[in-house]
């Protein structure tokens, strides 16, 4: 996957309905959904040169807020704190902790027949680590961040007009992973779309800020996804293993 610019793929992820507060239908048969989460991890890790030995490491949709319309919805998932730990079959452990979480998914119906779905992810403090069970390695990736926010909004009207917006804001982040070539990489502010914070020479490990992805269906814009931070592995080799997948922080989507 290449996120050096905004790109389009022909796929639309279905999101489950939740948090329904109204029975009002929308004119013109309009429908949509949105989703927000503080973290989404989906990766495979295996011995170098041995695809059959790959094992998944997943932590999907942490502190999820999601909804679909019609009818109208306004779903909020707030937590003072969150902790989670998952370990792959080959001994890689992902530890996550967070404070001050507020994920929101909602729909708006302006006066003109149209529908806007919005997702907002906020977390005051978040830390994530990756550790190996191999003796002498231990924790090899650390992430810490404050005031991380992402927002995705998608709007469609009964006349066929479609538009979207996406944004991210970061109080501060610090990433350290010397084994992976990342040494005290930091950022604070409002990143540009698909800003690259770090990329290795082989382009197999890239850290994107304000990573934005759109999808199409039947040749038309269908959704937008925004990750405040996306640590993207593309057949990255280190520590005798090959890694592919993503660690997404502050993830929102709308369609």
In this structure, are residues 73 and 19 in contact, taking their beta carbons and an 8 Å threshold?
yes
Q: Looking at residues 223-248, what average pLDDT do you find? A: 91
Q: Looking at residues 16-41, what average pLDDT do you find? A: 66
Which run of H or of E encompasses 243?
strand 241-254
114 conformational bin, left if phi > 0, alpha if psi -120 to 50, beta if neither: beta
63 token code pair: 């502190």
> In the chain, what are the helix, strand and coil shares in percent, each to the nearest 5?
5, 70, 25
| DSSP letter (8 states) at residue 11 | -
pLDDT band, very low/low/confident/very high, at 22 (cuts 50, 70, 90): very low
Can you give the pLDDT at residue 111?
Answer: 64
Give the model confidence (pLDDT) of 145-202 as tens digits.
Answer: 999 999 999 998 877 788 999 999 999 999 999 988 999 999 999 999 999 999 999 9
What DSSP letter does each residue of 36-66 carry, written as one string? Answer: EEEEEEEEEEEETT-GGG-EEEEEEEET-EE
Can you give the pLDDT at residue 160?
Answer: 77
Can you give the pLDDT at residue 187?
Answer: 98
Whether the predicted pLDDT of 64 surpasses 90: yes
Whether the predicted pLDDT of 139 surpasses 50: yes
Whether the predicted pLDDT of 205 surpasses 60: yes
pLDDT band, very low/low/confident/very high, at 7 (cuts 50, 70, 90): very low
Whether the predicted pLDDT of 2 surpasses 50: no
pLDDT band, very low/low/confident/very high, at 90 (cuts 50, 70, 90): confident
pLDDT band, very low/low/confident/very high, at 29 (cuts 50, 70, 90): confident
Can you give the pLDDT at residue 89?
Answer: 86
Q: Looking at residues 111-116, what average pLDDT do you find? A: 79
Q: Looking at residues 100-120, what average pLDDT do you find? A: 89
Q: Between 56 and 82, where is the model more confident?
A: 82
Mean pLDDT of the chain: 86
Whether the predicted pLDDT of 50 surpasses 80: no
pTM comes to: 0.86
CA distances from 96 to 132, 150, 242 (A): 15, 18, 22
Q: Looking at residues 53-81, what average pLDDT do you find? A: 93
């Amino acid at each position: 996957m290449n996120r050096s610019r905004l790109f389009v793929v022909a796929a639309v992820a279905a999101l489950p309905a939740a948090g329904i507060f109204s029975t009002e239908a929308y004119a013109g048969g309009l429908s949509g959904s949105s989703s927000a989460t503080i973290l989404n991890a989906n990766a495979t890790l295996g011995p170098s040169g041995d695809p059959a030995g790959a094992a998944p490491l997943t932590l999907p949709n942490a502190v999820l807020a999601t909804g679909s319309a019609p009818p109208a919805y306004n779903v909020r998932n707030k937590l003072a704190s969150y902790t989670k730990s998952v370990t792959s079959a080959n001994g890689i452990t992902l530890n996550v902790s967070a404070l001050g979480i507020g994920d929101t998914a909602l729909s708006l119906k302006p006066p003109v027949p149209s529908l806007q779905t919005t997702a907002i992810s906020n977390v005051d403090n978040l830390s994530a680590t990756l550790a190996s069970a191999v003796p002498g390695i231990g924790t090899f990736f650390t992430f810490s961040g404050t005031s991380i926010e992402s927002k995705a909004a998608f709007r469609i009207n009964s006349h066929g007009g479609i538009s979207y917006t996406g944004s991210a804001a970061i109080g501060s982040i610090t990433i350290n992973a010397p084994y992976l070539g990342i040494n005290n990489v930091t950022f604070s502010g409002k990143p540009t779309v698909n800003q690259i914070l770090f990329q290795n020479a082989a382009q197999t490990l890239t850290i994107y800020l304000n990573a934005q992805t759109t999808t199409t269906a039947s040749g038309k814009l269908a959704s937008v996804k925004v990750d405040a931070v996306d640590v993207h592995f593309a057949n990255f080799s280190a520590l005798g293993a090959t890694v592919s997948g993503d660690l997404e922080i502050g993830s929102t989507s709308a369609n």
